[in-house]
Chain A
Amino acid sequence: MLHIKNLHAGYNGLEILKGINLKVGKKEIVALVGPNGAGKSTVIKSIFNLAKITGGYIFFNNKNILGLKTHELLKEGVCYLNQGRTIFGNLTVRENLELGARLIKNKEEVKKRISAIYKKFQILKKRENDFAYTLSGGQQQVLGLGRALITKPKILLLDEPSLGLSPKLQKELFLMIKKIKKDGISILIVEQNAKKAIELADRTYLLEDGKIALEGSGGFILKHKKIKEVYLGGRY
């Protein structure tokens, strides 16, 4: 469904990605792991047209989506949850969800979708009129997810969604992501917590220095010497 071919990208003049090939299938969770600064965020940003692309192709459902504007990407069903702050603290919970649904013109439809999100994440319903900055870190991340899901995306690009969450909340978040997959949404997830991400994912790519160093299913990757060296035994 998502197909990245020989992608070169970076930021004004600086090449970060040096020929990336990556695929995400239908209803598949794909993890992208790698050390700090490897270019993981840049891969996702390239898909969402936020980095400078100097070569290669990005296809989504056999359509070239390279260079599309944000609202066009959203219409295609591509949604992106960035690294770090994913919500507007000075807007209420409901307003954040409304912003997520801003491309939907039919007001009744927006209301319906917001109720659907409330059903999924009941904490959001409880806090709907509170400013989002009053939510806890975990709740904020749930709100971010809700804001993304309200667009009914076909693929969700998640950049370190577990960042700053306690282990317990991380676990809950990963469970949520599994549920999202069951709803038929493909997911490309970038994670610092490599082991968790690999276990969650159907397939994993290891990115090192702007290149894919390793690719495979969870079992294969977890047993691989290189992953063991870099992540499981070593620093992480």
Chain B
Amino acid sequence: MSLLLQVAINGLIAGSIYALVSSGFSLIYNTNKFMHFAHGASVAVSGYFLYGFFAIIKLNFFYSLSLTLIFSALLGLLIYRIIYLPLQNRKASNVILLIASISILILLQNLILLLFGANVKDIEFVEVKKGLEFFGAVITLTQIVILLTAVLFFIFLYFFMNKTILGKNMRAVSENKELASIVGINSRKISDFSFLIGSFLGGAAGILIAVEQNITPTMGTILMIKGFTGAVIGGISSVPAAVLGSYLLGLAENFGIVFLPSGYKDAISFVLLFLFLLFRPEGIIGGKRRTK
């Protein structure tokens, strides 16, 4: 019982992080209809922003946090404006944009490597404390914060998408860009916002990882794969589905390593990714609603 509970908690914590990565990725994908894999680098860079502001410049933690979120969002916007948009204006296909996104991912990771070196960094905000124990399972305070932060962000995102004008416009552009422009929506502007908000969410993921664990230059790639897998499992054409899929992925990984050596964690996610791409590419929820 306590083992199951512990595994479930671990799964939900991993899932929270994946879901934050995946929600931003999926928001950008649905609005712009291309895969922004450099999103993974945004996540990693935000970890290093936090490290820079907090551990190097030694700003207070909440300033560091806010600045990191702002810078992450702006980095996303910058990538859109200086890389993707000019390519789109030259009528580049989505495959070209995909390749560009992977190039940016690699470029940013190498930039981190150049500036901060290859070794693992720890921002040492919280000293390792013994976790709280309940029903035999252990959860640390940081982990509780992660769980709550993620949920809070998703509630915020839900209200944003469904109750605000900007959110409704974003859903309209996601569904049918041409029609959106006919009703007078400036889809360029909506793309700007999708990158800002999507990268903000990715930035939040980077912060949580930096606080709970530690950061490495290449962490973006594996996180991007996890976030992407989560999105595929849930259904890439909807943000809530991507979030759900990511939590399922976190749980699957952690339940999987009850039976398998823990080194197989990533393998579980790759296997799931391939299975879904082969047999249910629209994901668990996808395909129910008619889009387009």
Does chain A bind chain B? yes
Interface set of A (CB-CB < 8 Å, partner B): 48, 50, 70-71, 74, 80, 82, 85-91, 95, 98-100, 102-103, 131, 133, 147
In the complex, residue of chain A having the shortest beta-carbon distance to the beta carbon of B183: A99
Binds A, one of B58-66, B143-151, B173-181: B173-181
Q: Which residues of chain B are near A90, meaning CB under 8 Å?
A: 171, 174-175, 289, 291
* Contact (Cβ within 8 A) B175 A91: yes
Question: How far is B171's CA from A214's CA once the two chains are assembled, in angstroms?
Answer: 43
> B129 interface residue, CB < 8 Å from A?
no
In the complex, residue of chain A having the shortest beta-carbon distance to the beta carbon of B173: A88
* Contact (Cβ within 8 A) A48 B182: yes
Q: Which residues of chain B are near A89, meaning CB under 8 Å?
A: 175, 289-291
Q: Which residues of chain B are near A133, meaning CB under 8 Å?
A: 289-290
Question: How far is B179's CA from A80's CA once the two chains are assembled, in angstroms?
Answer: 10
In the complex, residue of chain A having the shortest beta-carbon distance to the beta carbon of B291: A90
Question: How far is B186's CA from A71's CA once the two chains are assembled, in angstroms?
Answer: 9
Question: How far is B290's CA from A133's CA once the two chains are assembled, in angstroms?
Answer: 7
Question: How far is B183's CA from A103's CA once the two chains are assembled, in angstroms?
Answer: 9
Pairs across A and B, CB under 8 Å, 22 listed: A50-B182, A70-B182, A70-B183, A70-B184, A71-B184, A82-B178, A86-B179, A88-B171, A88-B175, A88-B176, A89-B175, A89-B289, A91-B171, A91-B175, A95-B168, A98-B168, A99-B168, A99-B183, A99-B185, A100-B183, A102-B169, A102-B183
Q: Which residues of chain B are near A87, meaning CB under 8 Å?
A: 179
- Residue among B169, B171, B176, B184 facing the most chain A CB atoms (10 A cut-off): B184
In the complex, residue of chain B having the shortest beta-carbon distance to the beta carbon of A133: B290
In the complex, residue of chain B having the shortest beta-carbon distance to the beta carbon of A86: B179
Q: Write the nearest CB–CB distance from B86 to chain A, whole angstroms.
A: 19
Q: Which of B172, B174, B178 contacts A99 (CB 8 A)?
A: B172
Extra pairs beyond A89-B289, A91-B172 (16, CB < 8 Å): A50-B182, A82-B178, A82-B179, A85-B176, A87-B179, A89-B290, A89-B291, A90-B291, A91-B168, A91-B171, A95-B168, A98-B165, A98-B168, A99-B168, A99-B185, A131-B289
Q: Which residues of chain A are near B176, meaning CB under 8 Å?
A: 85, 88
Closest 8 CB pairs of A and B: A71-B184, A70-B184, A133-B290, A90-B175, A88-B175, A88-B172, A99-B183, A74-B184
- Residue among B165, B168, B186 facing the most chain A CB atoms (10 A cut-off): B168
Question: How far is B185's CA from A147's CA once the two chains are assembled, in angstroms?
Answer: 14
Q: Write the nearest CB–CB distance from B171 to chain A, whole angstroms.
A: 6
Q: Which of B171, B185, B291, B292 contacts A102 (CB 8 A)?
A: B185
- Residue among B174, B181, B183, B184 facing the most chain A CB atoms (10 A cut-off): B183
Q: Write the nearest CB–CB distance from A9 to chain B, whole angstroms.
A: 17
* Contact (Cβ within 8 A) B290 A88: no
In the complex, residue of chain B having the shortest beta-carbon distance to the beta carbon of A45: B182
In the complex, residue of chain B having the shortest beta-carbon distance to the beta carbon of A12: B91
In the complex, residue of chain B having the shortest beta-carbon distance to the beta carbon of A80: B182
In the complex, residue of chain A having the shortest beta-carbon distance to the beta carbon of B165: A102
Q: Which residues of chain B are near A98, meaning CB under 8 Å?
A: 165, 168
Q: Which of B172-208 contact A (CB under 8 A)?
A: 172, 174-176, 178-186
Question: How far is B289's CA from A83's CA once the two chains are assembled, in angstroms?
Answer: 22
Q: Write the nearest CB–CB distance from B232 to chain A, whole angstroms.
A: 20
Question: How far is B181's CA from A98's CA once the two chains are assembled, in angstroms?
Answer: 15
Question: How far is B182's CA from A74's CA once the two chains are assembled, in angstroms?
Answer: 9
Question: How far is B223's CA from A230's CA once the two chains are assembled, in angstroms?
Answer: 62
Question: How far is B279's CA from A189's CA once the two chains are assembled, in angstroms?
Answer: 45
Question: How far is B186's CA from A133's CA once the two chains are assembled, in angstroms?
Answer: 23
Question: How far is B179's CA from A147's CA once the two chains are assembled, in angstroms?
Answer: 12
In the complex, residue of chain A having the shortest beta-carbon distance to the beta carbon of B181: A70
Q: Which residues of chain A are near B168, meaning CB under 8 Å?
A: 91, 95, 98-99
Q: Which residues of chain A are near B169, meaning CB under 8 Å?
A: 99, 102
Q: Write the nearest CB–CB distance from B96 to chain A, whole angstroms.
A: 19
Question: How far is B179's CA from A48's CA once the two chains are assembled, in angstroms?
Answer: 12
* Contact (Cβ within 8 A) B183 A147: yes
Q: Which residues of chain A are near B178, meaning CB under 8 Å?
A: 82
* Contact (Cβ within 8 A) A85 B184: no
Q: Which residues of chain B are near A88, meaning CB under 8 Å?
A: 171-172, 175-176, 179-180
Question: How far is B182's CA from A71's CA once the two chains are assembled, in angstroms?
Answer: 9
Q: Write the nearest CB–CB distance from A16 to chain B, whole angstroms.
A: 18
Q: Write the nearest CB–CB distance from A52 to chain B, whole angstroms.
A: 14
Question: How far is B165's CA from A100's CA once the two chains are assembled, in angstroms?
Answer: 12
In the complex, residue of chain B having the shortest beta-carbon distance to the beta carbon of A95: B168
Q: Which residues of chain A are near B180, meaning CB under 8 Å?
A: 88
Q: Write the nearest CB–CB distance from A183 to chain B, whole angstroms.
A: 21
Question: How far is B171's CA from A98's CA once the two chains are assembled, in angstroms?
Answer: 13
